[in-house]
Amino acid sequence: MIAAARSGSRAAFEALARHWHARLVAHGFRLLQDRELAAEAAQAAWLDIARGLRGLRDEQAFPAWAYRIVTRRCANLIRQRQGQRDLLAEMMAEPMPTFMTEPYVQGQDGQALQRAISLLPPGQRAALALHYFEELSIAEVAVALAIPAGTVKTRLMHGRNQLRQLLEGAGT
C-alpha cells in the first residue's frame, strides 16, 4: 500500500490514510489532550505525509515517520496556542479518556490500568502507548516523539514503575 501510494496512486494513498488516520489522531490526542486539536494536527500531518512520501526510502519506517510528523505538528500547535508550561499543566490535570485504551485493556483490571495511565505525565503516557499499544520499537518511538532512544527508555522505565505503584496502591 505504501509503495503504491509513493508511486502516486491516489486510491492507495486514500487506503493508507483510512488505515492510519485514527491512530495518528489518537497519538495527537495523547500529546494534546484535545480532540479537535489532535484531529487538526493529524490533518496537517497528512499534507506533510503526502508531500514527503516519495522521499521515504524504507517503507517499514512509515509508522515512526508518520508519528513523528504528528508529534511535530502537535508541538507547533502547542507553540501557537500558548506556552508549553500552561499546556502541560492542563494536560496533566485531565484524565486520559477511556476510548484511548479501550481496544487494548478491558474488564476490571483494564479499568484500573486506564485510571493509572491517565495519571502519568504526558511524555510517559505517549511513550508507553506507542511502545505497548501501537507496538513500536524503542527506536521507532524515539523517531515518533523526536527524542533520543535513551529518553524513551527512561520514560518507559519511570512510567512502568509509576503504573506498578499506582496499581499496587489500588489493590490490583
What pLDDT was estimated at residue 68? 95
pLDDT tens by residue, 70-124: 999 998 888 777 654 554 455 455 554 444 444 445 555 667 787 888 888 988 9
Instruction: Give the closest residue to 42 by CA, choosing from 10, 76, 8.
Output: 76
Under the phi-then-psi rule, with left for phi > 0, alpha for psi from -120 to 50, and beta for the rest, what region is 107? left
What pLDDT was estimated at residue 108? 58
Q: Quick one: CATH architecture of 1-94?
A: Orthogonal Bundle (1.10)
Q: Where are the domains of the chain?
A: 1-94, 99-172
Q: pTM score, two decimals?
A: 0.57
Angle between helix 62-81 and 84-93 (nearest 10): 110
pLDDT tens by residue, 44-57: 999 999 999 988 88
What pLDDT was estimated at residue 99? 44
Residue, of 42 and 100, whose pLDDT is higher: 42
What pLDDT was estimated at residue 6? 82
In the CATH scheme, what is the code of domain 99-172? 1.10.10.10
